[in-house]
Amino acid sequence: MDELLAQRRRDAYRYILLLLALITVPINTHNLYTGQTVPAVAGLLLLAILIANIWLLSVKRDALLTPAVVLLLSISLVLLSVFYGQNYSLYWLYPLLVALPILLKTHLAAWLGLLCGAIVVPFLFGSYDTRTATVLSLSMALTWLASAWLVYAVTEQASRLRDMAVTDALTGAYNRRYLELQLQQALGNWQRYGKPSTLLLIDIDHFKRINDRFGHSAGDEAIRGLVNVISRRIRSVDTLCRYGGEEFVVLLGEADSAAASAVAEDIRARVEAASILPDVSMTVSVGVADLTCAESMDHWLNLADAALYLAKRNGRNRVEVALPDVHPVSIAKTVPDWR
């Protein structure tokens, strides 16, 4: 997911650079035609930089310059052309003002926009009558604001859609799809950098009895209450996912089995002490599986499942740690009976 997102950002940056290159071509052509040597040389240098960045992004490499630097150089070229008497070059600021919120973070786009305004507005009022200068200033400000609002609206919508795709609607925890992505990333970090991770597989004890006795609404409340208890205990760098039904997975980054067991025991004790449901005491069983014992993502999950099965078999409301020589696939048929 991270690599795909990075590639999409590179593609978006490349398209904007293409747009900026197209903008500089007529500026450079006019400067060369009119014999404006300094603006022409500056424009050709900027065009060369843009082309180099476009090529680097096309071959999936990082650009030489950040978007902020590229936009600042582009705006500087326009202002340099204006300084040499080409007042009409101001109109090239409009597409650049549109690009500011698209390429840059909000605060950086705002600062560059204000800097551009601080330079251009005095020039406008010094070169044009008040009415014309006012209209040009307001139109540039509205161009930037319209672009910023559209970028904000699209970003917020994309964020909501992403959240819907990777979170569980009932609890707000991440879903199984997101879990698999995080597990693959953890495996990669272990194989490349030796960073350990540990899984906690948490299951509510006798959850079917809760549903049968108090109804499914009480079962939903129990699940949400469990998520609240777990969320208050784990770190912001850890990942809580709903694995299925009343079962949850916590991925503890850079934690070995000893540290993870302590966290699991604390969660178990907190759940037992909490009054999640008013008329019944709720407990959980936890299986702990260290990544160092796993050969693949499925094997890792199976190890945690085997440890959870052991916790259930030994009386529930307890924590068990997976052993590396356990072959948990054979217990799959017994799952409906002990949960």
Chosen domain end from 107, 131, 166: 166
For the question of residue 156 being annotated catalytic, the response is: no
**Contact at 8 Å (CB) between 244 and 201?**
no
User: Looking at the structure, do residues 50 and 69 belong to the same domain, yes or no?
Assistant: yes
**Whether residue 197 is found in the same domain as residue 153:** no
**CA atoms of 251 and 264, how far apart (whole Å):** 11
**Lowest-confidence segment of 14-18, 194-198, 258-262 by average pLDDT:** 14-18
Q: Which of 3, 180, 246, 295 is catalytic?
A: 246
Query: Of 92 and 176, which is predicted with more confidence?
Result: 176
Domain count, the chain: 2
- Full residue range of the structural domain in which residue 110 is found: 2-166
The verdict on 14 and 157 lying in the same domain is yes
In a domain, 275, yes or no: yes
Q: Predicted confidence band at 38 (pLDDT cuts at 50, 70, 90)? A: confident
Query: Cα separation of 60 and 108, whole Å?
Result: 25
139 closest CA partner among 95, 82, 94, 72: 94
Residues 6 or more apart in contact with residue 319 via CB below 8 angstroms? 261, 264, 265, 268, 285, 286, 287, 288, 311
- The reply to whether the predicted model has a pTM over 0.85 is no
Domain boundary among 110, 131, 166: 166
The pLDDT of residue 152 is above 80:
no
Give residue-wise pLDDT tens across range 202-218: 999 999 988 888 888 98
